[in-house]
Amino acid sequence: MSLSDLTGRWKAFSYGFLDPSAKRELRRKMIKAVSVPGCQMPYASREVPIARGWGTGGLQVTLTLVKPSSTVKVIDQGADDSVNAASIRRFLSRVSGASETWDTLDATLIQSRHRIPEEKLSRDQILILQVPNPEPLRGVEPNMSTARQMHADADYGRMWLQLYEQMVRSGRVMLGASYPAMVNGRHVMTPSPIPRWDVKKLHMAEHLTILSAGREKRIFAVPPYTRVEPLVFDDVPYKVEDHAHLTCARSGVTGYFMNEIPQEDGSAGYEVSDSHFGIKAIDARDGGTPTVGQTWYRNGELA
Partner 1 sequence: MAYVATRGGERAIEQSERLYRAQMGQIDAARVAEIEKALPALVDRVMGEASLYAPDLAALALAQSGGDLYEALLLLRAWRTTQPRLQIAEVVAPDAGFTHRRISAAFKDIPGGQILGPTLDYAHRLLATEVLEDQPYAPPAVEPAAKPAPATHPSLAEWQRAQGLVTTPEAAPVPRDEIPDLTREPLLFPAKRAHTLQSLARADTGGTLALGYSAMRGYGNSHPTVNELRLSEVEVMVAHPDGRRFSAGRVKTSQAEVVTTKGKGELRLGFTATLGWNEVKCISAATLDLNAPGAEKNSPVEEEFFLYHTEPVESSGFCIHFKLPHYVTFQSSLDNLRAAKTAKAEQAQPTDKKEETA
Element (H, E) at 113: strand 109-113
Helices and strands, number each (H, E), in the chain: 8, 14
- Using an 8 Å Cβ cutoff, are 273 and 257 in contact? yes
Neighbours of 4 (CB within 10 A): 9
- Closer residue to partner 1 (CB): 142 or 185: 142
- Closer residue to partner 1 (CB): 81 or 124: 81
The CB-side HSE value for 258 (13 A sphere, CA atoms) comes to 22
- Using an 8 Å Cβ cutoff, are 196 and 177 in contact? yes
47/278 Cα distance (integer angstroms): 35
Of 61-69, 152-160, 221-229, 239-247, the window that binds partner 1 (rule: CB under 8 A) is 239-247
Q: Name which of residues 178 to 197 contact partner 1 (CB under 8 A).
A: 178, 193-197
Q: Name which of residues 87 to 126 contact partner 1 (CB under 8 A).
A: 87, 90, 100-102, 113-115
Q: Is 25 in the site for partner 1 (CB under 8 A)?
A: yes
Q: Which of 37, 57, 132, 134 binds partner 1 (CB under 8 A)?
A: 132
253/289 Cα distance (integer angstroms): 16
Q: Which of 54, 91, 220, 296 binds partner 1 (CB under 8 A)?
A: 54
Q: Give the nearest distance from C-beta 185 to partner 1 in angstroms.
A: 25
Q: Is 241 in the site for partner 1 (CB under 8 A)?
A: yes
Shortest CA distance to 37 belongs to which of 204, 184, 217?
184
Taking CB under 8 A as the rule, which mask of x and - marks residues 203-222 in contact with partner 1? ------------x-x-----
- Closer residue to partner 1 (CB): 154 or 268: 268
Q: Is 56 in the site for partner 1 (CB under 8 A)?
A: yes
- Closer residue to partner 1 (CB): 56 or 295: 56
List beta partners, residue 293: none
128/161 Cα distance (integer angstroms): 31
Q: Is 144 in the site for partner 1 (CB under 8 A)?
A: yes
Q: Is 155 in the site for partner 1 (CB under 8 A)?
A: no
- Closer residue to partner 1 (CB): 226 or 272: 272
**Beta strand pairing status for 228-230 and 218-222?**
unpaired
